[in-house]
Amino acid sequence: MKHRRHVLPLAVVATLALPPAGAMAQGSSRHLPAQGQHITLTELDWNPTGPDSTFFNEVNKAFEQQHPGVTVQRTAISFNADVSTIRLRAASPSAPCIIGANEGWSGVGALAKDNLLVPLNKYAQQYHWFTRYPTAVLAQQMVSANGKELGTGTLYEMATVLAGPQSIYYNKQLLSQLHLAVPSTLAQLEHDMAVAKAHGIVPMELGLQDQVQITVPLYQVLDAVTPAKQLSNFVYGIGKPTVASIGMTKAAGVIQTWAKDGYFPKDELGISSSQAQNNFFAGQGLFFPAWPGYSGTAAQDARTGVFALDGPNGRAEDQDNSNQPLGITRSCKYVSLAAQYLNYVSGPAAGRVAVHLGLVPQISVQGSSAGGDLLFRSELGLANRVAASNGYVPYFDLSTLTMLTTLERAGQSLVAGRMTPQAFTAALQSDYSAFHGS
């Protein structure tokens, strides 16, 4: 998701002037540039616009300054273009050295299976990546030796410092007017929405014309009813889990009840997610389920807060992945240098750049300030809370190649009342079984 924050150029420049953490770490390698040699390190990511793009431009510039003779040649394409072409790009003899593939079977799973990425365990040990990041985040970049399980085995991509936890935004003014507290449990959320509905306020702004937004409320409910470990095992294909066994029918039932009770706007299937966002920031709805980085004007941000529902055991648990994981392709000639780049783009210096650009980092960033943007401070607080409890859960739809499409289509039928929660679960199970075989 794209972030739109106020950029603080001076702060960024000051940040870049700070000494790099872990730069040019531990000795040299045959893949490092010799004295006077000029190297072009090619890099591909899916952030062509916005602060995320600025982040990469700034970080690449800083990396070049610390590595004389190295030029980072960046290519940025859209996320959809990346997902649909990443395997062909990685298989090319002229593939970029550093490449961004999505988590899950369509990205890192497929590339690892096709032997297109360099294993990173050696560098993870060298640069202490496993202690830098929550294991729940790095597990999403791991693939088993037989290529049949995710979340375990070899690390094939490194999470960059950009985080992407799902959450629910709320309108502080409306919440205050209704004398409600920020919910942290499913029961509290449902109570708040019932009160809003009774006062003629749209409880939750939702736009499903472009399908994808159904995932956020559904995953929030799923997180609230099912422990993180159980959800992770399901996504990674560990054991013999079923969709029903992770509480999907219950979660789907909750969503359908919300739709029937009028907690979503009328004609939600004909509203796009961006229109729902506009409606929320215009003050029309109490809650808005989304990824981080949704914001409006400064005034709108000031009346907006963010939260995520706790897990069933009261722990802070949330579906999240790195907003831009990066791996090294087999055709890369400068593997050690590329690993240094991954270390830099996932490290504290990059984290400070992210914070100053208004982007939520995966790691706790010392020596930085979120400034006066209360919404961003709220997002940072949520991210730190989930990271502290190692409560990150991989997105449910990473469980198969086609789960997102299946879920989005079935989700529209569920909300429209054309499919029962049981049928919804059966549709997802059919997709899961077809992919994992059972």
Partner 1 sequence: MPSTAPDVLLTDAGLVRPASVAAGIAPGPAVASRPRRRKTDLWPYLYVLPVLAVFGVFLLVPLVQGIWYSFTSWDGIGPAPWAGLSNYISIWTNPVMREGLANTGVLVLFYAGAPIVAGLFTAALIGRRGMRGMGFYRTVLFLPQVLSSVVVIVIWRLLLAPAGPVNQSLGAMGLGFLRADWLGSFSITLDVLGLIGSWVAFGFCMLLFLAGIQAIPTELYDAAKVDGASPVREFFAVTLPGLRGQMAVAMTLSVIGAFQAFDIIWLVTQGGPGTSSVTPAINLYNDAFVSQNVGAAAAMGVVMLGASLVVTLVIVRLVEGRRNA
The residue ranges that bind partner 1 (CB under 8 A) are 83-84, 87-88, 91, 106, 110, 114, 116, 208-211, 266-272, 275, 401-402, 404-405, 408-410, 412-413, 416, 418
Least distance in Å: CB of 271 to partner 1? 6
In the complex, what is the shortest distance from the CB of residue 74 to partner 1, in angstroms, rounded to a whole number?
Answer: 24
Instruction: Look up tokens 């365990």; give the residue.
Output: 121
Nearer to partner 1, 209 or 245 (CB): 209
Judged by CB, which is closer to partner 1: 244, or 269?
Answer: 269
Q: Please give the C-alpha separations between residue 153 and each of 113, 144, 150, 375, 396, in angstroms, as whole numbers.
A: 12, 4, 8, 38, 20
DSSP letters for 87-130: HHHHHSTT--SEE---SSIIIIIHHHHTT-B---HHHHHHHTHH
Nearer to partner 1 among residue 187 and residue 416 (C-beta):
416
In whole angstroms, give the CA distance from residue 4 to residue 2. Answer: 7
Instruction: Give the separation between CA 349 and CA 339, rounded to whole angstroms.
Output: 16
> Could you tell me the smallest distance in angstroms from the CB atom of residue 164 to partner 1?
20
Q: Residue 231: how many CA atoms within 13 Å on its side-chain side?
A: 29
Nearer residue to partner 1 within complex by CB, 162 or 328: 328
Please identify, using beta-carbon distances, which residue of 107 and 325 lies nearer to partner 1.
107
Which of 240, 266 has the CB closer to partner 1?
266
Closest distance of CB 284 from partner 1, Å: 11
List CB contacts of 243: < 8 A, sequence separation 6 or more: 234, 425, 428, 429, 432
Q: How far is the CB of 217 from partner 1 (least distance, A)?
A: 17
Three-state secondary-structure class, residue 434: helix
- Using alpha carbons, select from 103, 97, 18 the residue that is nearest to residue 65: 18
234 in Cβ contact with 227 (< 8 Å): no
Smallest distance from the beta carbon of 259 to partner 1, in angstroms?
13
Comparison of 41 and 208: residue with beta carbon closer to partner 1? 208
Give the span between the Cα atoms of 272 and 79, in whole angstroms.
18
Contact 390, 135 (CB under 8 A): yes
Closest CA to 346 of 59, 58, 102: 59
The dihedrals phi and psi of 144, each to the nearest 5 degrees, come to -70, 165
Closest approach of Cβ 109 to partner 1, in Å? 10
CB of 276 to partner 1, least distance (A): 11
Looking at the Cβ atoms of 18 and 91, the one nearer to partner 1 is 91
